[in-house]
Structure 1
Amino acid sequence: MTKILVVDDHAVVRAGVAHFIADIPNMEIGGEASTAEDAIRLVRNDTWDIVLLDIAMPDKSGVEVLKQIKREKPELPVLMLSMHPESRYAVQVLRSGASGYLQKEALATELVAAINTVMRGHKYISYGVAELLTADPTDTDKPLHETLSQREYEIFYKLGKGEGVTKIADELCLSVKTVSTYRTRVLHKMSMTNNADIIYYAIKNNLID
């Protein structure tokens, strides 16, 4: 029996997943969490076969939760769920250790296939994600934010939300100097001069929740 932990701050989503999985042989929802804190506690205190993790959590981003899970239980598969299109987060979360990325609107038809794929030891990669992963890195039409490394994008995202360097350093357990260095790299790669440019770009490209 595949024991699943569902992590999503929306009760209706958790209920929908539970209702759907209830009809699938050899799968069961063994637990639910609505916050990042609860998710980490459940991961630490119990044994799971797979985690279904929402990318947008109220107390900490799903990407940060993913990284913490992979640090503490690197063999535990995590399938990321998101309302956002694949082009926004898929490549970033796969590079961070996720076993797959699934849009919530495709949940009913693809969820079981994704879980089965992951449980066989493979990554679940849709056609759209495969195209993103195999895209030519020299493509000049590539959006600027997709040229950033995973850590650079994480810093960019937090700066785009208006967070200061000191707060980001505290949240990511990095030094202020390190965060400032990443900020400089982001500004250079994206041909920007200050945080206002980053915030404007993030809003214009619908990258901020």
Structure 2
Amino acid sequence: MPADRPRVVLADDHRLVAEGLQRLLEDECELVACVSSGTALLDAVHQYAPDLVVTDLSMPDRNGLSVMRELRAAGVQVPFVFLTMHAEPTLAEQALRAGASAYVLKSSAGEELLRAIHVVRSGRTYITPTLGARVIAAPGRGQKQELTDKQMQVLQLVSAGLRSKQIAAELGVSVRTVESHKYAIMQALDVHSTLELVRKADEYGLTPGLRTTPPVS
């Protein structure tokens, strides 16, 4: 993340949650406004021109997604980090397609929110890993491509730098099974090499915090 502290507008209509988020963010961000409604969020973005918005998806008057869409229509491209209790993959997909930079579950908040902000500030997209692989749509395809739980495990181990034999030992399956999963994942994500696969996983925030050099086979 850039060395300067990003100027952030925070929006959440639950007072205790908002107070906790302020304490979490204050060391790394400059909070220029904390609001509790969609209308107030819209006004705050226009008033303060923040570097980043951290917002709940659902709020009393209008939801964060509609606010983001209105700002996008007006040419305001500030990154939106959605922090929400809604764990439905379809909602995450909808938010990302509309232009969101991150989708983080409140049940995973804390260090993960800070990680998401770092990822977004570096120009990438972040999704809570339990949702991420399920909302990736391959370019040029008309339908969403979903990964199974086992495929998600394989994807994350590939991203951690493990080769097929190591992954097979880790998961207690055959190397052929691992290769079959890798092929299915690459088809779903429309990539053609392990390196591309790692990059796609990293783009969607599915990689572990520490990773060895990925294989390039």
Give the CA deviation at 1:130: 3.0
Give the equivalent residue in structure 2 for 1:80.
82
2:72 is matched with which residue: 58, 70, 73?
A: 70
TM-score by length of 1: 0.60
TM-score by length of 2: 0.58
Structure 2 CA distance for aligned equivalents of residues 32 and 133 of structure 1? 30
Q: Which runs of 5+ in 1 are unaligned?
A: 141-209
Give the equivalent residue in structure 1 for 2:13.
9
Give the CA deviation at 1:126: 3.4
Give the equivalent residue in structure 2 for 1:129.
131
Q: Contact 1:49/1:77 (CA < 8 Å) preserved in 2?
A: yes
Structure 2 CA distance for aligned equivalents of residues 120 and 64 of structure 1? 25
Give the CA deviation at 1:138: 7.5
Q: Which contiguous aligned blocks of 4+ residues in structure 1 show a shift greater than 6 angstroms?
A: none
1:94 is matched with which residue: 96, 106, 119?
A: 96
Structure 1 CA distance for aligned equivalents of residues 56 and 30 of structure 2? 18
CA change 1:138–1:46 in 2 (3 A) is closer
Give the CA deviation at 1:12: 1.0
Give the CA deviation at 1:30: 1.5
* SS of 1:117 mapped into structure 2: helix
1:60 is matched with which residue: 56, 59, 62?
A: 62
- Higher RCO (Cα < 8 Å, 6 or more apart): 2
Larger Rg: 2
Give the CA deviation at 1:133: 2.9
Q: Which runs of 5+ in 2 are unaligned?
A: 147-217
* SS of 1:64 mapped into structure 2: helix
Which string of whole-angstrom CA distances, capped at 9 and with x for unpartnered residues, describes residues 66-112 of structure 1? 21122224420000111111424111100011001000111112011
Structure 2 CA distance for aligned equivalents of residues 94 and 73 of structure 1? 17
Q: Contact 2:96/2:102 (CA < 8 Å) preserved in 1?
A: yes
- The structure with the greater share of residues assigned to helix is 1
**Aligned pairs, how many?**
140
Give the CA deviation at 1:129: 3.2
Identical amino acids, percent of aligned pairs: 28
Report the aligned-residue RMSD: 2.5
1:1-209 alignment runs, 5 A limit: 1-22=5-26, 24-25=27-28, 27-134=29-136, 137=143
Which string of whole-angstrom CA distances, capped at 9 and with x for unpartnered residues, describes residues 25-79 of structure 1? 4x22111111111111111111201001110010012221121122224420000
